[in-house]
Amino acid sequence: MFAIKNLVLGTLVLGLSSIAVPAFAADNSAVKVMEEYLDFVDYGGATILPEQIPQADWKSFYVIDARDGEQFQKDHIPGAVNIEWRQILARRNELPKDKSILIYCNTGSLSAQAGFALRVAGMDNVRILQGGYSEWKTKGGFDAYQRATQQPQP
């Protein structure tokens, strides 16, 4: 019974995906914009590690927590605003153009998608916190830079 359910579900997903692809393929303008972006994007794709940000520099970022509201309410980087990753393009007019934007989620994968979308939309002031909130906490939060640059004591 389990195998039959998986077969039916797999067939349904495969069928739906084959229906959706032609709709996107008919309009190549989005693909062209992404190709142009990828031709010129820097190697890191705008990612930044927690240990690359000195504590004093955090004030210069407009920090966006791209997780859902419930996760944001439980814990977040102090000073961050909550804009769920799926809403980021719809709310891009709320974002500063004269300040660096740092976007994060739990691990960096959803914020990478949101950051990519913003950069393709022309916002070159966007950085993605690689490793997301979990890596930020693990590496020491605002003290990650200091921890990473301290010389070991002999």
Q: How confident is the model at residue 4 (pLDDT cuts 50, 70, 90)?
A: very low
Q: Is residue 70 part of a domain?
A: yes
For helices 29-40 and 109-120, give the axis angle rounded to 10 degrees.
100
Mean pLDDT of the chain: 80
How far, CA to CA in Å, does 12 sit from each of 15, 20, 22, 33, 84? 5, 12, 17, 31, 29
Domain that holds residue 82: 41-149
| Predicted local distance difference test score (pLDDT) of residue 107 | 93
Do 142 and 129 contact (CB within 8 A), yes or no?
A: no
The per-residue pLDDT for range 128-138, each reduced to its tens digit, is: 999 999 999 99
How far, CA to CA in Å, does 26 sit from each of 23, 35, 92? 6, 16, 26
Q: What is the pTM assigned to this prediction?
A: 0.73
| 3-state secondary structure at position 61 | strand
Q: Is residue 154 part of a domain?
A: no
- Match 């997301």 to its residue by tokens: 132
Q: Pick the residue with more confidence: 47 or 75?
A: 75
Total domains in the chain come to: 2
For residues 77 and 145, state if they share a domain: yes
For residues 58 and 100, state if they share a domain: yes
